[in-house]
Amino acid sequence: MKLHFTTTHLDHRIALLAALAITIHIIESAFPSPLPGIKPGLANVVTLFTFIKYGWQTALQVSLLRVIISSLILGTFLSPTFLLSLSGALLSLLSLMLIQLPFYATSLRPYQPSAIGYALVASVTHMSGQFLVAWYFFIPHPGLFKLLPIFITFAVILGIVSGIITQLLINQINSGSTTTAVTQDRQ
């Protein structure tokens, strides 16, 4: 029996973006981190870009593929690292959706945040999600909360950085077309 798949353009796009995110994730995991739990999170630039450019459905698939496949490659599948990664990714995507929700209304659409705003939300909630899971499941000690302000500080700084990168990426992609990043975000 011969299996035959028909793939759509959307599938190709998701595969391409996920491959990009996985590559960045794996390269990033090779770098040492100044503090356990703090990573630049460059793989999230891809998720963010996908979210802004193609919407949350695509971003969710890219994000899940990235988390699962890169953990399979790194050998951390179903380990604590994987759970932290998954919870962070899901919570940040969920909050991105919630933040975007009011801006579906046509009257509010011009006020939709740009990449910086989304990146900040994503990065802070990603960090908080990971932190809460780490605290609840792995280190249920109140002393862990002393680290939370440091983590959130780094999340804000790195969120701004990844927002700038995302915005530059969007500018690059959009250059040549007349529409701006802001009006093109929902297709």
Least Cβ distance, residue 120 to another protein (angstroms): 5
* One-letter identity of residue 61: Q
Q: What is the DSSP string of 106-127?
A: TTTGGG---HHHHHHHHHHHHH
Nearest to another protein of 115, 133 (CB atom): 115
Residues of the shown chain interacting with another protein in the complex, contacts defined by CB under 8 A: 99, 111-117, 120-121, 124, 145-146, 148-149, 152-153, 156, 159-160, 163-164, 167-168, 171, 181-182
Nearest to another protein of 120, 133 (CB atom): 120
Least Cβ distance, residue 151 to another protein (angstroms): 9
Give the ranges where the chain is alpha helix by DSSP (H). Answer: 9-29, 43-54, 56-74, 80-100, 115-133, 148-174
Q: How far is CA 121 from CA 34, 110, 128, in A?
A: 23, 19, 11
Least Cβ distance, residue 177 to another protein (angstroms): 16
Least Cβ distance, residue 47 to another protein (angstroms): 17
Q: Who contacts 48 (Cβ-Cβ below 8 Å, separation ≥6)?
A: 59, 96, 115, 118, 119, 122, 162, 163, 166
Nearest to another protein of 14, 155 (CB atom): 155
Question: Among 36, 63, 35, 34, which Cα is nearest to 49's?
Answer: 63
Nearest to another protein of 72, 168 (CB atom): 168
d(CA 71, CA 29): 10
Nearest to another protein of 83, 165 (CB atom): 165
**CA terminus-to-terminus distance, the chain:** 38
Least Cβ distance, residue 99 to another protein (angstroms): 8
